[in-house]
Copies of this chain bind each other. A is one copy, B any other.
């Protein structure tokens, strides 16, 4: 039967773990690489909801984009977050694999999904690591490109709400201004604001935008669209599951791949 280690290897083919940032702990975070897997759940976050869902569905493996362990653990106790989730996964036999910044920068990763949704053209990375940029499956962090045609900022906001099926997308800038050149970065894109400014784009689409970055963008005449960290990254779940299913088919491996149905954006406005 397939093992957790096999799944890790499939992900490494698609979004090599060596692409991850140095501070980021990708790969198997919880469990046993030798454990057999015939049911697998893909989700954005490794939380109570998705670990519970994996257990209910009888999945031995949970593949998520976000890490369960950011800061290394000094203890593994059920009264401390996120160690409580580690314990829960272990007791439920759910092995947790993380594909985080390696998936952000890979071809067909989070940034490519958002770029595709916007139908961007003439697309370049917003930031690229010289070590990997000659590799065909490396796409870089963030994207810069052009909308098929110019539109108003407010219309871009509505289009994104429609495509993402969410409300409360926030914009910075005059909603009547026309935009066509776009920078984007899934997740929390504040760290690449300088690059978006240098790239002289009309609008920067990302999540988790902080107030002082918004103020600066206004002064630099750069429009922003904040689609949320969840909104900008949940879109990776289906494509990642599809990749794993096709890989399984190619390998003749018997595995059922599910996508989480219970997770949702923690923020709501109504």
Minimal Cβ-Cβ distance residue in B for A35: B78
A266 interface residue per 8 A CB criterion: yes
Q: Is B266 a contact partner of A31 (Cβ separation < 8 A)?
A: no
A152 interface residue per 8 A CB criterion: no
A149 to B86, CA, bound (A): 37
CB distance from A47 to the nearest CB of B (A): 6
Write out the residue numbers on chain B whose beta carbons fall within 8 Å of the beta carbon of A269. Answer: 167-171, 269
Write out the residue numbers on chain B whose beta carbons fall within 8 Å of the beta carbon of A30. Answer: 75-77
A9 to B27, CA, bound (A): 38
Write out the residue numbers on chain B whose beta carbons fall within 8 Å of the beta carbon of A48. Answer: 219
Minimal Cβ-Cβ distance residue in B for A27: B75
- A201-256 contacts to B (CB < 8 Å): 207-212, 214-220, 226, 228-230
Write out the residue numbers on chain B whose beta carbons fall within 8 Å of the beta carbon of A14. Answer: none
Minimal Cβ-Cβ distance residue in B for A210: B208
A188 to B215, CA, bound (A): 14
Q: Which of B31, B75, B167 contacts A29 (CB 8 A)?
A: B75
Q: Is B266 a contact partner of A172 (Cβ separation < 8 A)?
A: yes
Q: A164-191: contact bitstring with B at CB < 8 Å (1 yes, 0 no)?
A: 0001111110010000000000001000
Residues of A within 8 A of B (CB): 25, 27-34, 45, 47-48, 66, 69-79, 81-82, 84-87, 90-91, 167-172, 175, 188, 207-212, 214-220, 226, 228-230, 266-269
